[in-house]
Structure 1
Amino acid sequence: MARDSLIRHYAYLVRVVVGRLVPGGKSRLDVDDLVGSGIAGLIRAVDTYDPTREVKFETYATANIRGAVLEAIRNEDFLPRSIRDRLRAFDRASLATEARIGRPATDTELADELGVSEEHVGRLRIAAVASKVGSLDDTTNSSEGDSLRFGDMVADPSVDLDRELQDNEVREALIAALSHLPERERVVVGLYYKENITFLEIGKVLGISESRAYQLHGQALSRLRQRFRPMLMAA
């Protein structure tokens, strides 16, 4: 079975694991974000599974998914639900305004839509980007070379992160945060998100194992979330 087909086939395991860890969706975190983390764990399982070992793939994948979701809970649980609700309202307003006017909304138009200041909209943009780092808008390469979006695998579309990054203030804030990462973590993030290559390929480039590349990626995302935390709280 092709890599992307395998991922799609076992995507249901992610919902099963998230459902067990967060019964009834009762969590301070957005369940969709947990699903995104679980999909990342599934992809890692597909890429690292050794069929010569006497372990069923479903068992191996479930363990990887569970680990990824638990890590997401540990890393992101600092964000109050009230702020997540505010960010979702911002996303909805952005999409609704764009649909109405036929183009991306300016800060002025979003401020009018939400009844807040333009400065507050700027903070919301930055917070929205920070909260989406490592979520459903991440992509991976399929075996045919196509870009495969995590959110599409579970039929749960999210806001286009690239559209948010078009805002200069947001881009500058993200670049500044990336510049504070240790060199290896910065390289891993750049290769994974900008060059869109797999952790296996990143490992070969850096002369490290695939699992180490995955670990560096997780460390980088944790640092970025912590650095963006004041912006999230200010939103």
Structure 2
Amino acid sequence: MAISNSSGKNSSFKSSPWLDLEAGATAWEDFSPRDRENIVRHYAPKIRILALRMKAKLPQSVELNELISAGSLGLLDALGKFNPELGIKFQTYSENRIKGAMLDELRRMDWFSRGLRQKVKTLEDAMRQIEHETGAPATPRQIEKHTGLSEKEVQQGLEALQNQMCISIDAFHENILTKGDKQDDEPFQSTAFQELVDKVAHLIDELTPREKLVISLYYGEELNMKETAEVMDITEGRVSQLHSQALIKLRKNFKSRYENE
């Protein structure tokens, strides 16, 4: 029996059980224990890759192993529920089940402390007021003056705000890409969800060209801040600023236009 090598690729195309799974030739519950073990080994490297990507957007207090453990449960869930007749590739299906499990674990952990959550709210209120008064995005120095917080406190708060919104957008992506695996969706639910996608897409179109590019590179191409900076030929600090202001605009505009519908 073939097993995956360190890169996660199969060493024997002909006798790889994961190919039978992906093709729908054999259901997960019909594989032998040994084949199940080999299938899990084959897909396991993907869990670590996704965990590392998510960890880069989170505070240092979040342990990588916690994300990997949650992602492993997501993989097992995907293996048991995968249905190739729905027309979704297993790679796409499993990736979003893994990410979904990690996001669920983050929600369970409540990784924002009460003090940090209050600091983020203070910053958001200050940024809205400054932008209303000046007609331009607030700078860290303006926020410091407005709130009385130190430079370090403002920086911590802005990073926390960015992390929070990154996870929110990741959750939205996860919901979009796994929507097709729900067999019991009613037409009304599918229509409502598509309307939500259209609303967010419309709001993204209203961002400045550089903000849209950052969102595209960071979420669409899954580049990190350093890679995005290199592509755009700007500093990482400028990427972070563009990223933060784009996400703030999206959330503020979505609330103001659609929250009371």
TM-score (norm 2): 0.35
More RCO (CA 8 Å, sep 6+): 1
TM-score (norm 1): 0.39
Which has more radius of gyration?
2
